Amino acid sequence: MMQRLLSGDYPRSRALTALLLIIGVSLALGPFLFPGVRAFSMLGMICVFIIVVASYDLMLGYTHIVSFAHTMFFGIGAYGVAMATDAFGNGYGAVLAGIGGAVLLTIVLSLLLGLLSLRVKAIFFALVTLAVAFAFLSLVTQLYNLTGGEDGLAVRVPRELGPAFRPFDEPWVGFDVVGFFSGLFSDPGNAFKDALFDVRVNGRHLVYYIAFASAVAVFLFLLRMVNSPFGRVLQAIRENEFRAQALGYRTVFYRTAAVIVSAVLATLAGVLFALINRYVNPENTLNFELMVFILLMCVIGGMGTLYGAVVGTALFLLAQNYLQDLLKLLAGHVEKGSMLAELVGPDSWLLWFGLLFVLSVYFFPAGIVGQLRLWAARRRQRRAGNGGARRDGVPAQGESHAS
Amino acid sequence: MSAHDELIEPRPQGALGRFRAFREERPHLFLLVLMMLVAFFMMDPRTWVVLTISGLAMGAMVFLMASGMTLTFGLMNVLNLAHGAFISLGAFAGATVLVHWLNGQAGEASVWANLAAVLPALGFALVVAGLIGLLFERLVIKPVYGDHLKQILVTVGGSIILMELIQVVWGPNEIPVPRPETLTGAFLIPESLPVIGGVALEKYRLVAVILGLAVYGLMTWVIERTRTGVLIRAGVEDREMVEVHGYRIRLLFLGVFVAGSALAGLGGAMWAMYREIITAHMGDELMISVIVVIILGGLGSIKGCFYGAVLVGLINLYVGYLEPRLAAVATVGLMVGVLMWRPQGLIPVIKV
Amino acid sequence: MSESILSLSGVSANIDQYHILHGVDLEVPAGELTVLLGRNGAGKSTTLRTIMGLTTVTGGSVRFRGDDITGQPTPRIARKGIAFVPESMGIFSLLTVRENMILAAVSGPMDEQRLNWIFDLFPPLKKFWNRPAGNLSGGQKQMLAIARAVIEPRELLLVDEPTKGLAPAIINDLAGAFEQLKEQRVSILLVEQNFNFSRRLGQSVAVMNDGAVVYSGQMAELADNEELQHDLLGLGLGAHQ
């Protein structure tokens, strides 16, 4: 069962398995474990961005194609739903029409991009996508009568997916884990009781679980894909394009196919984003900074592992939301107005993340997942006493070659 | 043994043949003339003159920014996506001189006093961007030679770090940069001249055009006429053979990288005075133009970079006048069109 | 045999994961022309590249005029006075003939007299002086490649298969040029497959097989001993190449 589900591609590290279980359980029961609007919206974003980053990994990690147009496809999905509901009202038909139009546009655009630049040279793709994504961003910003320009559009979601929809009269019970553990220190006696809270199930929870289910489905689909013959060819092209060509594979076809699949998945993630966030603008869907964040999540998590997308996304979004609080705390201890205060100020969290990113490219090119697997493999090797388990200890694709 | 030089292609016959030959042999000029002609018929001549000069001015500044990146790529096959950060850096360094250190001179109405502010500002931008470029090459780029994927990743990371550091040093807000007194305002072309009489040309744009042409001339001279230039061109073609002759190509590359960063800084400082407002992320927006320019021109080609920059400047201004909302789309559309026509760019120098 | 200008002892080298050289021992006598013979894939070119520091040495040592140059960066090796003409010739095809020569004259402006001597050796170079080198024919490119190597006095020339793919008349011209260099007592290590060309020029000879030197001695001995030729080079009797 597990074998089939994960396509035989296991985490291969106990620490990683534990980490994935924690993330999985937190997401599955999220609305009932973490109270508050901020936590709820972050959980939704993690689900959406797991799709975005995992699909990006298909290009970056498995095919070594660097694209800067992933947010463009994400934005196409988001704006597709937003514009369709804006025009046709909040029915399911409008949502479906938006999805259909967005996917169609994505396929056409990604096909053109692939044919245009993968023919010439892989690094051209990075530059061309960067320019095209920028042109798209500017177009969306400028065509304000269609897209709302800088202000963006509110997404009119169907009633069942909105906060007004209340399927149950009684509130459900949630258990605040963070509160419980901090309560254990301050007031152990009442910790359990204080941690209980009411959850009024509404349409937003429904959307959340649609996003969660989609994230799981897309992740398993991609895992299946990279372990299929198609995925093997992609990795063969990544390792040695000439050889793959000599073996008779049309490498441009395979690369373009990877780009299209990846782009379509990003579009679907954009659709989910629109439904969850119910508000799209260039800033939250198309921004260059967002693109860089996706790159960061993918690389820090571990390129070419897919599991890295899950770990990287969860970690990055946590940091984005809570590292600023931490830095604020730190800044409180430093003299105001000095350069040092600026360096540890809450606004400079990105500086530290950028540094972490560059260092991780140098020293842990396989990211968190790759490093965990490496440690696990070494431990297995030691236990096997330098003998028998050597083959097992050899890191698989994506670790030794993630550079 | 000398049969080779007699192999001269037959000259094309007839007007159409000559036109085709021109289009194929000088695609950069063909495109330039075509674009200017099309624009000429879509607007009145006086507007056209103003837009053309402004387009050339923008092209000159973008050329300054793009030349370093195209050479870095041509010579060492290094794709530096942090190039935009050096543009920002130059802008802030220049602004520091103009706004804080030599504010008095910049505000006076005398040309000499203004020059005494502008030249140090440009020089400071050049030096700061060059020095940080030196550090950047040693610390960030050196470990990832020969690996495009890692280059893209670490330079994107490096760009974040540099831009965040700019915000740490200069604060997170945009900074207004007043243009020096004598560079504001415009020249009036005398009314007596036919057609273009009475057209107002902004002084600063003329200065930008002149400076851009001067740098292009200087670079062309260095590349075409000096020993260093011979080495650079040879290095673009075959790094190993340059080393076989006893030259340390790493040093040559470091020099080119520093010069390229410095020029980006110069372009950034020019841009700061042009726009009169700067933000740390201005480099990101300009990077798009830079990327379009180097793809248009052919990676590694200085001449291609110059013509690419002029084309980008002109299309921006022409389209910006006819339909402001489509300026960016037209720029990128130009790139896509050229890529389909000539996948190697207008003046390719290396086998991609 | 005179004193060695270059000596390799037990040199091993890898290209990627492939072991190409397994302990090459080679002496290049000063002031002589040494020919390095061997089948395709014997490791001749890799030996030259390894001397130049273009391939990483994994064992053994390379000594040039007594100095250990093993593992030194290519530019430093070149500056010690070793010139290298690779099999591909390494012409900068976008540069003019003149610029190719300027680049080769490492220590400054070209010496007028020496340049004239080169023009006498290779007249086409004068004719195409300001043309892009890419327009030259194969033979002319080879002339340019050798001219670059000798535009300044060098201690040692490494030349990889200069006759490859050239017409007999041009090979004859090249041989004449090498004769002149020999007269000037320039030390030369020449990799060749063309045995007649080698026999005409070579004073010493070394034969490689499977990444190691299997024979070295005087060219005259090898030239006279057809049996040995047959054993080492697989040449038919009469050296028909």
**B5 vs C: CB within 8 A:** yes
Pair type for strands C187-191 and C33-38: parallel
* Total count of domains within chain A: 1
pLDDT of residue B239: 86
Report, at the CATH architecture level, how domain B43-341 is classified. Answer: Orthogonal Bundle (1.10)
- Which positions in chain B touch A334 (Cβ < 8 Å)? none
Looking at CA atoms only, how far is residue A356 from chain B in angstroms? 9
Question: CATH number, domain at A7?
Answer: 1.10.3470
How many angstroms separate the CA atoms of B178 and B127, rounded? 21
Inter-chain CB proximity B157 and A339 less than 8 Å: no
Inter-chain CB proximity B344 and A123 less than 8 Å: no
pLDDT of residue B142: 85
- Measured CA to CA in angstroms, residue B204 lies from B201, B274, B286 at distances of 9, 7, 19
Q: Which of B169-183, C43-57, C211-225 ranks highest by mean pLDDT? A: C43-57
User: Terminal CA-to-CA distance of chain A, rounded, Å?
Assistant: 33
How many angstroms separate the CA atoms of A238 and A249, rounded? 12
Looking at CA atoms only, how far is residue A127 from chain B in angstroms? 6
- For residue C103, the Cα-to-chain-centroid distance in whole angstroms is 19
pLDDT of residue B68: 85
Q: Is residue A238 part of a domain?
A: yes
Q: Which structural domain range is residue A102 located in?
A: 2-167+202-372
The two tokens of residue B119 are 């030249």
Buried (b) or exposed (e) across C200-231, using 16+ Cβ within 10 A? Answer: bbbbbbbbbbebbbebbeebeebbeeeebbee
Chain B stretch 142-201, residues whose beta carbon is closer than 8 A to a beta carbon of chain A:
143-144, 147-150, 152-154, 156-158, 160-161, 164-165, 167-169, 172
Is residue C58 within a helix (H) or strand (E), and if so which, with residue range?
strand C57-64
- Measured CA to CA in angstroms, residue B267 lies from B124, B126, B149, B210, C89 at distances of 12, 9, 27, 13, 40
pLDDT of residue B9: 54
Residue of A81, A84, A59, A69 whose CA lies nearest to A136: A69
Residue of B349, B279, B347, B308 whose CA lies nearest to B62: B308
pLDDT of residue C172: 87
Give the single-character DSSP code of A188: G
**B139 vs A: CB within 8 A:** no
pLDDT of residue C170: 86
**B243 vs C: CB within 8 A:** yes
β-bridge mates for residue C34, sequence order: C189, C204
- Angle, vertex CA B221, rays to CA B344 and CA C112, nearest 5: 110
Looking at CA atoms only, how far is residue A305 from chain B in angstroms? 16
Q: Is B151 helix (H, G, I), strand (E, B) or coil?
A: helix
**B191 vs C: CB within 8 A:** no
- Which positions in chain B touch A130 (Cβ < 8 Å)? 287-288, 291
- For residue C165, the Cα-to-chain-centroid distance in whole angstroms is 16
Q: Alpha helix locations (H) across C80-194?
A: 97-104, 112-121, 123-127, 138-150, 168-183
Mean pLDDT of chain C: 87
**C105 vs B: CB within 8 A:** no
Looking at CA atoms only, how far is residue C52 from chain B in angstroms? 7
Q: Is residue A386 part of a domain?
A: no
Kindly give the parts of chain A with pLDDT less than 50: 388-403
> Any residues with CB less than 8 A from the CB of A58 and at least 6 apart, and which?
A222, A225, A226, A234, A258, A261, A262, A265
pLDDT of residue B11: 63
Is the complex ipTM more than 0.95?
Answer: no
Is residue C213 within a helix (H) or strand (E), and if so which, with residue range?
strand C212-218
Q: Is residue A257 part of a domain?
A: yes
How many angstroms separate the CA atoms of C177 and C170, rounded? 11
Minimal Cβ distance to B149: which of A66, A121, A288: A66
- Which is more confident, C166 or B75? C166
pLDDT of residue A337: 61
pLDDT of residue A391: 45
Confidence of residue C99 (pLDDT cuts 50, 70, 90): very high
* Best mutation target, A72, A127, A128, to test chain B (most B CBs within 10 A): A127
How many angstroms separate the CA atoms of A232 and A398, rounded? 12
- Which positions in chain B touch C128 (Cβ < 8 Å)? 5
Q: Is residue A385 part of a domain?
A: no
Inter-chain CB proximity A135 and B343 less than 8 Å: no
The two tokens of residue A9 are 């591609």
Check: CB of residue C74 under 8 Å from CB of residue C14.
Answer: no
Average pLDDT over residues C127-145: 91
Question: Do chains B and A touch, with touching meaning 3 or more CB–CB pairs less than 8 Å apart?
Answer: yes
Minimal Cβ distance to B233: which of C74, C95, C140: C95
Inter-chain CB proximity B230 and C79 less than 8 Å: no
How many angstroms separate the CA atoms of C6 and A306, rounded? 54
Phi, psi at C90, each rounded to 5° = 60, 35
Phi, psi at C69, each rounded to 5° = -110, 15
Check: CB of residue A368 under 8 Å from CB of residue A300.
Answer: yes
Kindly give the parts of chain B with pLDDT less than 50: 1-7, 351-352
How many angstroms separate the CA atoms of A337 and B116, rounded? 32
Q: Which amino acid is at A182?
A: S
Inter-chain CB proximity A362 and B328 less than 8 Å: no
Please report, for chain B, the start and end positions of each structural domain, with discontinuous segments joined by +. Answer: 43-341
Phi, psi at C152, each rounded to 5° = -120, 150
Angle between helices B282-297 and B83-95 (to 10 degrees): 130
* Best mutation target, C94, C128, C151, to test chain B (most B CBs within 10 A): C94
Helices (H) then strands (E): counts for chain B: 14, 4
What are the tens digits of pLDDT across the range C73-96?
Answer: 999 999 999 999 999 899 999 899
